[in-house]
């Protein structure tokens, strides 16, 4: 039987020194890729490789140079025998390893390096994928949160923020109002807040909800401040007055009457309620683009308010037609009838020379005389033709003394019966509509925001200080 070491020389091809150093000796950066544990002997394919590796191993494990020389000098025979035995043992191990794994020595090493390197790269790829997936899932949520700007109409649970009512720091700073008392022919001068109490007492029943009374106080205060701010004296019969006590401006009950008659007639509780409503809104008015608005109001709507241009011929941006469904439910004067003789009807309109045609059907004869030409956005009559003459709905209402410019008619013998819906000009805040809103839980500021489009709130003293 042949010597195993000779068999290995025949079956194993010698390797180049560069390949040996490349495959057997790992670099510093590839230490962790080595398949051989630190305690496992290094492998070789040829005796020459074995001797080279053995020399390297001997160098790593040998004593210092001085000890090495001493060892050789003392027992050379033992050292030679040990080296020979070690060589035989390693060569034998190499032979068995190479015979069984001839094709896998380097192939397995390369594949294991690739596998181990891939294993170390997998966690990084997983983390990168996870981060990208998380960003992809979170991005739509972030965009929605940034763009989410809920916009909603005011509800009873979402009060509109207004400046806090605050009295002027100095008493002299509070505006004074001069009112012309039409029945007495005299001028009464008093503070702004006392004037507002007199207006609320004259314009709105004290039995209304507190929020409606407060809204009325702000509207009344805004109306007079707008006149003071613009120095408007229109409609005043004598010099020295800012406003009258009639509905031409605002109805007003003098301070003297409130103090004497209301208290003596058992209305102290009602007066205290009005005073509280004014106090709750003290010094607050409505503004549009920094200026006091024309805060018009009326009693009862027909279900809608009117655009300003349909009544005054002037378009005002905050006096727009809005719905007011509360009036029909709670206002006692929502629907009324008025009977006028045919003769009086023609006379009031200046049409005495026109005769109402006689026809078999009473309604047909009247309808042949009156024709509605157009209506407003607020569902009132805008124009109509009577006996060939064109009138505005406002003209007919005022000439005939009707409660509203939304009306219908029927003929009844020698009379005409008119049915009206609502009461007043219809521009601005409906007082009965405000009370209906207050009953549903709306605040004064929400009520005003509904009837006056796009308005803001401001303190009177700060506004007049800028004048």
- What does the pLDDT look like over 404-431, one tens digit per residue? 999 999 988 889 999 999 999 999 999 9
Average pLDDT over residues 90-114: 47
Q: Which residues contact 219 (CB under 8 A, 6 or more apart)?
A: 286, 295, 297, 428, 429, 448
Of 114-118, 139-143, 213-217, 439-443, the poorest mean pLDDT is in 114-118
Average pLDDT over residues 313-339: 96
Separation of alpha carbons 309 and 297, rounded Å: 15
- The yes-or-no verdict on residue 464 having pLDDT over 90 is no
For residue 22, the model assigns a pLDDT of 42
Query: Over the chain, what is the mean pLDDT?
Result: 76
As beta bridge partners, residue 340 has 416
For residue 84, the model assigns a pLDDT of 53
Residue of 467 and 280 predicted with greater confidence:
280
- The yes-or-no verdict on residue 456 having pLDDT over 70 is yes
- The yes-or-no verdict on residue 250 having pLDDT over 80 is yes
Helices (H), 166-323: 192-203, 210-230, 255-257, 263-264, 268-280, 309-312
Spatial contact of 452 and 430, defined as CB atoms under 8 Å apart: no
Separation of alpha carbons 68 and 83, rounded Å: 14
Pairing of strands 176-181, 243-244: parallel
Q: How does residue 264 score in pLDDT terms, banded at 50, 70 and 90?
A: confident
What is the phi/psi pair of residue 341, to 5°? -70, 155
Spatial contact of 324 and 305, defined as CB atoms under 8 Å apart: yes
102 alpha-carbon distance from chain centroid: 78
For residue 93, the model assigns a pLDDT of 52
Q: How does residue 365 score in pLDDT terms, banded at 50, 70 and 90?
A: low
- Segment 110-153, tens digit of pLDDT: 444 444 444 455 567 677 777 777 766 666 545 444 444 443 44
**Cβ contacts of 177-181, under 8 Å, gap ≥ 24:** 177/224, 177/228, 177/242, 177/243, 178/240, 178/241, 178/242, 178/243, 179/241, 179/242, 179/243, 179/244, 179/245, 179/252, 179/254, 180/236, 180/237, 180/238, 180/241, 180/243, 180/244, 180/245, 181/245, 181/254
**Using alpha carbons only, what angle is made at residue 39 by residues 35 and 45, rounded to the nearest 5 degrees?**
55
**Using alpha carbons only, what angle is made at residue 310 by residues 458 and 291, rounded to the nearest 5 degrees?**
15
**Cβ contacts of 383-389, under 8 Å, gap ≥ 24:** 386/349, 386/351, 387/346, 387/351, 387/354, 388/354, 389/349, 389/351
Q: Which residues contact 413 (CB under 8 A, 6 or more apart)?
A: none
Spatial contact of 192 and 173, defined as CB atoms under 8 Å apart: no
Q: By three-state DSSP, how is residue 17 classified?
A: helix
- Ramachandran assignment for 158, one of left (phi > 0), alpha (psi -120 to 50 degrees), beta (any other): beta
- The yes-or-no verdict on residue 67 having pLDDT over 60 is no
The 3-state DSSP composition of the chain as helix, strand, coil percent (nearest 5) reads 50, 15, 35
Tell me the CB-side half-sphere exposure of residue 106, using CA atoms within 13 A: 8
Residue length, the chain? 467
Residue of 270 and 73 predicted with greater confidence:
270
Tokens of 362: 């009473």
Average pLDDT over residues 277-299: 96
- The yes-or-no verdict on residue 315 having pLDDT over 50 is yes
For residue 147, the model assigns a pLDDT of 43
**What pTM did the predictor assign?**
0.64
Q: How does residue 317 score in pLDDT terms, banded at 50, 70 and 90?
A: very high
Average pLDDT over residues 75-88: 48
């Amino acid at each position: 039987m042949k010597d195993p070491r000779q068999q290995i020389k025949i079956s194993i091809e010698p390797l180049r020194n560069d390949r040996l150093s490349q495959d057997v000796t790992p670099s510093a950066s590839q230490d962790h890729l080595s398949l051989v544990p630190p305690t496992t002997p290094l492998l070789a394919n040829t005796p020459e490789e074995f001797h080279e590796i053995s020399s390297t191993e001997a160098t790593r494990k040998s004593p210092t140079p001085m000890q090495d020389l001493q060892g050789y000098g003392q027992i050379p025979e033992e050292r030679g025998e040990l080296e020979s035995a070690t060589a035989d043992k390693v060569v034998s191990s190499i032979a068995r390893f190479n015979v069984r794994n001839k094709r896998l020595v380097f192939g397995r090493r390369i594949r294991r390096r690739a596998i181990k390197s891939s294993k170390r790269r997998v966690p990084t790829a997983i983390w990168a994928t996870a981060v990208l997936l998380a960003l992809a899932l979170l991005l739509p949520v972030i965009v929605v949160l940034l763009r989410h700007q809920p916009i909603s109409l005011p509800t009873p649970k979402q009060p509109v923020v207004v400046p806090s009512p605050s009295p002027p720091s100095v008493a002299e700073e509070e505006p004074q109002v001069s009112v012309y008392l039409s029945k007495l022919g005299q001028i009464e001068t008093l503070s702004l807040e006392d004037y507002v109490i007199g207006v609320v007492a004259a314009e709105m029943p004290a039995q209304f909800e507190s929020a409606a009374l407060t809204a009325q106080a702000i509207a009344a205060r805004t109306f007079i401040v707008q006149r003071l701010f613009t120095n408007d004296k229109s409609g005043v019969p004598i010099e020295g007055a800012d406003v009258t006590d009639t509905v031409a401006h605002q109805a007003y009950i003098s301070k003297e009457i409130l103090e004497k008659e209301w208290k003596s007639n058992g209305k102290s509780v009602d007066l205290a309620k009005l005073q509280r409503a004014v106090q709750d809104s003290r010094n607050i008015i409505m503004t549009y683009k920094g200026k006091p608005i024309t805060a018009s109001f009326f009693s009862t709507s027909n279900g809608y308010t009117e655009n300003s241009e349909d009544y005054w011929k002037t378009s005002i941006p905050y006096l727009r037609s809005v719905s007011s469904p509360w009036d029909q439910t709670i206002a006692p004067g929502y629907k009324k009838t008025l009977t006028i003789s045919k003769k009086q009807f023609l006379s009031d309109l200046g049409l005495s020379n026109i005769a109402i045609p006689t026809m078999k059907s009473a309604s047909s004869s009247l309808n042949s005389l009156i024709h509605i030409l157009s209506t407003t956005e607020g569902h009132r009559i805008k124009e109509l033709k009577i006996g060939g003459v064109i009138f505005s709905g406002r003209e007919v209402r005022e000439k005939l003394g009707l409660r509203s410019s939304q009306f219908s008619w029927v003929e009844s013998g020698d009379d005409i019966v008119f049915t009206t819906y609502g009461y007043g000009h219809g521009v601005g805040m409906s007082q009965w509509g405000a009370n209906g809103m207050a009953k549903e839980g709306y605040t004064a500021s929400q009520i005003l925001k509904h009837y006056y489009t796009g308005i803001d709130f401001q303190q009177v003293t700060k506004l007049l200080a800028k004048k």
